[in-house]
Amino acid sequence: MIPAKTIKELIVKHSNLEKDLSSGSLDKNKFAEKSKEYSDLNEIIADAKRYLSFEKDQNELQKIIEDKNGDLELKKMAEIELKDLKNLNFQNEKKLKLFLLPKDEADKKNAIIEIRAGTGGLEASLFAGDLFKMYEKVSHKKKWLLDLISISKSEAGGLKEVIASIKGTNIYSTLKYESGVHRVQRVPDTETQGRVHTSAATVAVLPEVEEVDLKINESDLRIDVFRAGGPGGQSVNTTDSAVRITHIPTGLSVSQQDEKSQHKNKAKGMKILRARLYELERNRIEKERSKDRKTKIGTGDRSERIRTYNFPQGRVTDHRINLTLHKLDEFLEGEAFDEMIESLTLQAQEESLSNLK
């Protein structure tokens, strides 16, 4: 049960925001900030008021039901109304608990996605390429902006590694459950006997952070420059444009050589490094918070096998929520992607609610 004081505070806050927004005294930035807060509260304020009046409404109906001299027809109606009222209160309580859950500030951020071929040789690199195409299609359908940061292709035409930034609305909250090991089961083009092979690729989704979100001391960085190399050891250019940035306290290292400019490579490298350092700290805090609770859905463990794409059976299975969609082709085209994400988000919310003390 949610304390009445907490619900009253929400209602008072909503009323105060309404007064502030209609006062005409707020500057542009403050008005935008309070408008967003008001809009969020607006979605649950009616539920909050109903939740607060539940006991009073329940007692009134209970009196009608228990009245020995009362009308039988009226009592029956009150019993039905009480049952509906209890169901509605249960739903309202759930909505309010979700609203009151601690917000993940990273949810609203853009994201950096890193995809790497895992076990399975050339077939794994082809699968990494398929995954990247899938995220490209999802981005296109949602009108997100996907920008390549770096890409390394394999001999078979797949991808050894690709890193990209994705910009739009609430990107990280949509993609964060994609982090982990994605496994594929299919017959490779090179297989002459029709045997199904299993390969894997890892996906890491990191919130993209600005310099104001994370301060990195220059003294903590070691920056090495070297000549960018292309396939077969040939030089991409004749200047030391490639950059390797090492964060000395953590040992994290980022190399960037896709651009011909050393300055641009450093900027891209710092973007990746900031995201990785930010996520490292988030994971450390989350581990401390969750020592006493277990969750099926993680967002940081890249070694966790999260999903299997089975081509012979045309299915995609998410192992964290035991959900199987028999529409693999549509999923890879980005068509059934939202169905999976919505199920994962719902399960994560349920887990968060069950962990409330």
Which one of 62-71, 140-149, 219-228 scores highest in mean pLDDT? Answer: 140-149
The architecture in CATH of the region 107-209+305-354 reads 2-Layer Sandwich (3.30)
The pLDDT of 67-77, averaged and rounded, is 90
In the predicted structure, residue 297 carries a pLDDT above the cut 80 = no
Could you tell me the pLDDT band of residue 289, with boundaries at 50, 70 and 90? low
Decide yes or no: CATH 3.30.160.20 for domain 218-288: yes
The pLDDT of 127-138, averaged and rounded, is 96
In the chain, domain spans: 4-100, 107-209+305-354, 218-288
pTM of the model: 0.72
Could you tell me the pLDDT band of residue 188, with boundaries at 50, 70 and 90? confident
Could you tell me the pLDDT band of residue 235, with boundaries at 50, 70 and 90? very low
Question: Mind listing the pLDDT tens digit for each residue in 37-56?
Answer: 898 899 899 999 999 999 99
Question: Mind listing the pLDDT tens digit for each residue in 243-278?
Answer: 999 999 999 999 988 888 888 999 999 999 999 998
Q: Percent of the chain beyond pLDDT 90? A: 58
Three-class DSSP labels, the chain: CCCHHHHHHHHHHHHHHHHHHHHCCCCHHHHHHHHHHHHHHHCCHHHHHHHHCHHHHHHHHHHHHHCCCCCHHHHHHHHHHHHHHHHHHHHHHHHHHHHHCCCCHHHHCCEEEEEEECCCHHHHHHHHHHHHHHHHHHHHHCCCEEEEEEEEECCCCCEEEEEEEEECCCHHHHHHHHCEEEEEEECCCCCCCCCCEEEEEEEEEEECCCCCCCCCCHHHEEEEEECCECHHHCECCCCCCEEEEEECCCCEEEEECCCCCHHHHHHHHHHHHHHHHHHHHHHHHHHHHCCCCCCCCCCCCCCCEEEEEECCCCEEEECCCCEEECCHHHHHCCCCHHHHHHHHHHHHHHHHHHCCC
